Amino acid sequence: MSIYKGVNLLPKVKTKEIKKYSSITKKMVLYLFWLLIIIIVNVISYIPVSLEKVQLLNLDKRRKQIIADLQQDQKKYILYHNIVFRLQIIENLQKSRFYLSKLVDVVDNTVYPSVAGQYTIHKDGTVSIGLSTDTFTKASISWHKLLTQKQVFKTLNLSSFSNQNEKIPFILKGQINLDTIKQDDTTHTK
């Protein structure tokens, strides 16, 4: 026996124990990796937020700069908008206008054998037409003819009729489609 050979006083490590410790180490690494992933994911999820915030701040800065530029020349800005508002009012008024002549044309060209003697039109499209003829049959023919103008008249009802000195005056009341007698692009040059 050599004097260099020592005596092993430590207990012999079993394979089972080695496996156990290696498994603990693996688990520790796994936990650390898990934690690292949580941190990385959180950091990554915050990157777009911070980028968007920077972009928003830059845009807000730009907006304030433009407003400051506009305020610098406020007199011009106010004058410009006074023109804009006036033009807008004119535009709104133009949209609500209608031509009585267009309605009169439609009625006069349709009501034969009756004759129209009164036209009343309201800007909400309510219309009243006073007509006269010599027989009830002719009156009903005229009413029927007007009803065939479906693109102009939405509704048209017989409001009243009478028999006066061999004349039959009658009034038709209803609703018309205002768009058909409103200003279009070609009429403004009229």
Partner 1 sequence: MTRHTQNKKSKKFTPKKDKLHAILESIATLTLSLLSIASIFFFIIPNINQTFELKKDIDKLTQEVTALNKKLDEINSYSIEDLNTLYEKTLQFIPENINVGSMGASINQMATNSNLEIQRLTLKEEPQNRNLKLQNSIKTSLVLPLKSITAPFIMLGQKQDLLQFLDTLTNSLEAREFDTVQLIHIEDKWMLKLELTHLYMSYIKEVPISSTLPNLNKSLLSRLEEQLETMNNQNTENTSIKQTAKTASNKE
Can you give the binding site for partner 1, defined by CB under 8 A? 9, 11, 24, 27, 31, 34-35, 38, 41-42, 45-46, 48-49, 52-53, 55-56, 59-60, 62-63, 66-67, 69-71, 73, 75-91, 93-94, 96-101, 104, 117-123, 130, 183, 187-188, 190
Q: Which is nearer to partner 1, 60 or 179 (CB)?
A: 60
Helix (H, G, I), strand (E, B) or coil at 153: strand
Least distance between partner 1 and beta carbon 165 (Å): 15
Contact 151, 180 (CB under 8 A): yes
Least distance between partner 1 and beta carbon 83 (Å): 5
Q: Which is nearer to partner 1, 144 or 184 (CB)?
A: 184
Only one residue has tokens 């309510």, namely: 126
Q: Which is nearer to partner 1, 91 or 166 (CB)?
A: 91
Least distance between partner 1 and beta carbon 134 (Å): 17
The rounded distance, in Å, linking the Cα atoms of 87 and 90 is 5
The rounded distance, in Å, linking the Cα atoms of 140 and 158 is 9
> What does DSSP assign to residue 86?
H
The rounded distance, in Å, linking the Cα atoms of 68 and 74 is 10
Paired tokens of 6 = 């020592």
Least distance between partner 1 and beta carbon 170 (Å): 15
Only one residue has tokens 């092993």, namely: 8
Q: Which is nearer to partner 1, 68 or 150 (CB)?
A: 68
